[in-house]
Structure 1
């Protein structure tokens, strides 16, 4: 790599970080900005960088997805998604399948493709990308009622494996007509079962190793977890399982309980996921030739509209037919079916498999993703308000103190708000009769912090930062919640 290439890569990365401020301020999905930057730098854009290597783009994309999925699983609050697990898993499997069939059938009729070719195109665009969705919601100061946010997080993290399976399976059926479609059933069961099992086992192994290995340098722990992530993907893929499902499951299992250097590892993998997202989107933006999108704009719009207004809503309402969610929640979930990087990466699979319509598929998929991000991504806050599903975002308080979990230490650092009308208001801390294993470390009061002593009088609106076991925390929280 010469210095010019290094400078160009550094400038692209730097500009990508800077333009993310536009996403934060105006609610434009970062995905769209990174893709647009890659297209501007490409051979049809101002940069004039010629890049036409689907194999390299797929290599970068697959490795990026591995790290992004692990980071997503690691940062998932299991207590939040647990109640939405059934609906989330249904959307990520049956919902993806229904979307693929509806879009695939429409594409077959519209483009004169064979049924397998149409279903292949439908499978490529069948998975969603909630990372862009929540960047829009956060930038516009919107939160969601009920279980919507954890449900969408779970769906987005777990539906890529199903889309990848369908894409690979249908490529086999297109290129090998002698194969029976029923062979995909056994392939699906094997891949998902082995993927889930490998992810669970490797997640438990990561948890045990991180807590027991006792490395001499904290900086080696990210190297350890990074190697284990790729080992999880590689071993699972080698035995015939779904490696993407395995790394997502491993992240959830590892993050379910406190482990050594948890905060620093969460930050490392979050930063790494952002780097991989930027690299992936820039690469995919460079790979596309905008001039080739113009001839397919008509059919691209029709397929995008079928996906957004027919396939996604039908798949959501049918999949959640027996859910207790109301029509507003289902309508919002339907509109949040934002397409992202995964479909564009999957569109490189037919290119490498030399499927006859591969170039057409890639250009249509890229156009569909751009249309979805432009129409859905920029209107999500308004849709949430119209459906009365939005809540004001409560800014997360940043404390001037950190806590590093140590294996075997059961106490955790948690926030405990003092509700209005609490029986604790007006009393000194020593009068509350707190357990011995319940320590008030800091008190957040309005815009200031107090280092507590036994004589500090509690006020309404105070937030205690406490170090405590779960049992004592629950007991004190119940006590403080009682009215005066």
Structure 2
């Protein structure tokens, strides 16, 4: 039955891909109802309980999230001295620091959650996920549109920076593994995690990228297997950084940035024109081309583009699996009215307010500010942090039932993610087309 279901779904997507591109919907909007139908609420063909299968779900969601973060890093080609970096940093850090307390306050005073669960809810729902709406992410590495660049960069940053808040929420719920995030040295622990993640991931990405390019240029070695190179670097940067208690998600994002930085340093502004039949950037196929792979100036571009091409294909598969899984989990745990209310508050009040505060004084137009506020998409990052938290036993304070707390939070999170997929998926294409028309005028 599993083989029949997976085979039918994958073949259907392969056959319908061209049709979906013509419709004003994202592929995720197709995966979501399919997952719900497969779940116990409709057909009962697949029944996955979030709490009982938390470890397996965490492993799957982590792999999808790591792949997404590395791909985002590879897409961001701007040098760090470029002022455009200020926008994703503002959104990924400042907007998140406003979002989490506002969600926590809402959870406490509107929905009656204990403080630990409310902070955990804020940490789970803080990350944004531009992967689930391809119309709002960077189309190619030369894209310098403020909205696309800001939202793509924000998704790469806040998936990692939300981790300490998730751990703080778990610590307040009595989880021993998270206790260090609520003691007197918590800020030092967080600072070390961020620094070790960014610096460690960058160094590993830079060293591996330089090693491969050097071997290809000088000795014509390390040719091919870019797929292994990308996945290997993801695993290496995450594993080593976690080993020294850094935040592995930031490390993987930084490793992608480092690999792209090697390419941009070596290539400069050459090979950027996609209309040039000699161009490497944006037109590189994943085929084996020894002449280009060992070229003095094009070797790094070939390496980066082939890794990016493979990762983007894997990212589409990961999106399919994760969104279908969201539908299955929602079918199991049920739609939450409280989650729907929270989604509306998050999309129309909390997110716009946090973006307005984060972008105070920024050189963006009112339309750009409004679109950045609207596209605070929830997806794989929120799903990962939910199932990650469900691995532990939560201890609710007096007056709250511990056994009912996790299912309630799970239902709220899955409802918010579902509404985000639908509402942002429907609005992404028409809003971005409208924005593009105004830009051209």
Distance 1:41 1:26, change over 3 A: same
TM-score (norm: length of structure 1): 0.72
Does structure 2 conserve the Cα–Cα contact (< 8 Å) formed by 1:80 and 1:150?
A: no
Does structure 2 conserve the Cα–Cα contact (< 8 Å) formed by 1:329 and 1:389?
A: no
Tell me the C-alpha RMSD between the 2 structures. Answer: 2.9
Distance 1:389 1:123, change over 3 A: farther
- Answer 1 or 2: which has greater strand percent: 1
Aligned length: 383
Using the alignment, how far apart are the partners of 1:112 and 1:371 within structure 2?
22
Does structure 2 conserve the Cα–Cα contact (< 8 Å) formed by 1:81 and 1:151?
A: no
Higher relative contact order (CA 8 A, sep 6+): 2
Does structure 2 conserve the Cα–Cα contact (< 8 Å) formed by 1:338 and 1:377?
A: no
Q: Which moved more, 1:127-136 or 1:268-277?
A: 127-136
Equivalence for 2:291: none
Equivalence for 2:245: 240
1:382 deviates by 4.3
Equivalence for 2:210: 208
Aligned residue runs from structure 1 range 371-410, under 5 A = 371-384=419-432, 390-391=438-439
Per-residue CA shift, 1:43-64, capped at 9, x if unaligned?
Answer: 3233612223222111100011
Using the alignment, how far apart are the partners of 1:81 and 1:351 within structure 2?
40
1:342 deviates by 1.4
Using the alignment, how far apart are the partners of 1:318 and 1:94 within structure 2?
8
Q: Which moved more, 1:220-229 or 1:67-76?
A: 220-229
- Between structure 1 and structure 2, the one with the greater Rg is 1
Equivalence for 1:168: 167
The SS at the match of 2:373 is helix
TM-score (norm: length of structure 2): 0.79
Matched, 1:51 2:92: no
- Answer 1 or 2: which has greater helix percent: 2
Distance 1:137 1:28, change over 3 A: farther
Structure 1 unpaired stretches of 5+: 394-484
Aligned residue runs from structure 1 range 84-483, under 5 A = 84-135=84-135, 146-176=145-175, 180=182, 183-214=185-216, 218-258=223-263, 259=300, 260-289=302-331, 292-294=333-335, 296-297=336-337, 299-355=338-394, 356=402, 357-384=405-432, 390-391=438-439
The SS at the match of 2:116 is helix
Using the alignment, how far apart are the partners of 2:72 and 2:199 within structure 1?
18
Using the alignment, how far apart are the partners of 2:374 and 2:23 within structure 1?
20
1:373 deviates by 2.5
Equivalence for 2:71: 71
The SS at the match of 2:173 is helix
Equivalence for 2:278: none
1:94 deviates by 1.8
Using the alignment, how far apart are the partners of 1:20 and 1:162 within structure 2?
34
Equivalence for 1:397: none
The SS at the match of 1:279 is helix
Distance 1:109 1:40, change over 3 A: same
Distance 1:266 1:387, change over 3 A: closer
Distance 1:389 1:134, change over 3 A: farther
Match of 1:12 among 2, 6, 9: 9
Does structure 1 conserve the Cα–Cα contact (< 8 Å) formed by 2:226 and 2:306?
A: no
